[in-house]
Amino acid sequence: MARKILIDADPGIADALAVLVALADPTLDVLALTACGGVVSGAQATRNLHYLVGLVDPVRHPRIGQADESDHPCRIWPAGMPHPHALNGRFGLGDTEPLVPDLHNRRESARLIVDIAREHPQDVRILSFGPLTNVALALDLDPELPMLLNGLICLGGSLHSIGDVTPSAELNLWSNPRAAKTVLKSPVGKILIPLEVGHSAGLTFEDIDRLTGLIPSTPTGEFLTSLLQFAGRACRQWLPFEEVSLPAATALAIATGAATFETSQIAADVEVGGELTNGTLILDRRRFQHRQPNIEIVTSVDTTAVVDYFCRGVRRIAVR
């Protein structure tokens, strides 16, 4: 039986690729895609998700939750960091401008999360690829939501308080630390994938060349090729890495069971007031402490299995 999931995302090349792989995975039933502002605005995230669904035209179309232009935490970007536009393109999808009609049946993302959970009680797992804004709003809308969900897998934080967007904070938690704090304190079962694990799986530039050489020249295949090649160019120009990381695909591989992983139960919180540490994930590792663990944090993952799952998914979706 296919696993029922809802993906909350701010696509972004990495998120867009993972969404396409999820839509092609026969073991998944993607009930909804909810837009969240992050590396793109909420309105752009909505358009990007609408475009991705229209591009692959899945047998069962997921419902799309919308966010608005005001939901854009990365509008104010820390000095010295590559801007999301440099890494993802002006609209988040590389060189592609996603021209789509307005949604006919508009539903705010947080409200759609609640609706889906109530329609499928204890069957739906949320995969959060971006800031936790929508999940926190949904928890506020429906206090019974933690009991209705089959858990939450989210990308966020860092194992060692070494960030990417600031010296100590990871992008997703930094974008909306109060939302992250709300979600971490909620009783919903949570698996958190930190920065070090989410970025441990990736494609080298040679991998990208080989993979794109195997992708057929269908409209979807050409779009996938353009995303991968844009990501490779941006990585070469802006980042001190030799590969394009796959954090969203890592979360997806963990959710599907395609990759084995190890976790640790721990008490965690998010800093919301520090001038230098805002958005930092705080893990209580004291030997003698009385706080109950509130998250399951992933400490390692089979990166070879993640890359294999991703590449198979890309080739599968390209022939749609």
Instruction: For residues 274-280, give the mean pLDDT.
Output: 93
The CA-atom distances, in angstroms, between 164 and each of 100, 177, 263 are: 32, 15, 22
Average pLDDT, the chain: 94
Give, as one character, the DSSP assignment of residue 7: E
pLDDT digits (tens, 9 = 90+) for 117-158: 999 999 999 999 999 999 999 999 999 999 999 999 999 999
Give, as one character, the DSSP assignment of residue 298: E
pTM of the model: 0.96
Instruction: For residues 20-27, give the mean pLDDT.
Output: 96
CA distance 29 to 41: 26
Q: What is the dihedral of CA 60, 150, 245, 14, to 10 degrees?
A: 40
**Residue 167: pLDDT over 90:** yes
Which tokens go with 138?
A: 């949904």
**Residue 290: pLDDT over 90:** no
**Residue 289: pLDDT over 70:** no
Q: Quick one: pLDDT band at residue 4, thresholds 50, 70, 90?
A: very high
Percent of the chain with pLDDT over 90: 85
- CB contact set of 114 (below 8 Å; sequence gap of 6+): 138, 141, 142, 145
> 292: alpha, beta or left, given left = phi > 0 and alpha = psi -120 to 50?
beta
Residue 215: CB atoms within 10 A of its CB come to: 20
Judged by average pLDDT, the poorest of 23-32, 102-111, 201-210, 247-256 is 102-111
Which tokens go with 28?
A: 């998944």
pLDDT of 320 reads: 72
Task: Locate the DSSP E strands across the chain.
Answer: 3-9, 28-35, 63-65, 124-128, 152-155, 190-193, 202-204, 243-245, 261-270, 281-284, 295-301
The CA-atom distances, in angstroms, between 142 and each of 30, 148, 182, 251, 308 are: 22, 10, 13, 25, 38
CA distance 16 to 73: 19
DSSP notation for 194-227 = -HHHHTTSEEEHHHHHHHHHHS-SSHHHHHHHHH
Q: To which residue do tokens 């993607």 refer?
A: 30
pLDDT of 52 reads: 97
Q: Quick one: pLDDT band at residue 239, thresholds 50, 70, 90?
A: confident
Which tokens go with 66?
A: 């919308």
Which domains, from first to last, does the chain contain? 3-318 (3.90.245.10)
Please tell me which residue, 289 or 292, carries the higher pLDDT value. 292
Percent of the chain with pLDDT over 70: 100
**Residue 192: pLDDT over 80:** yes
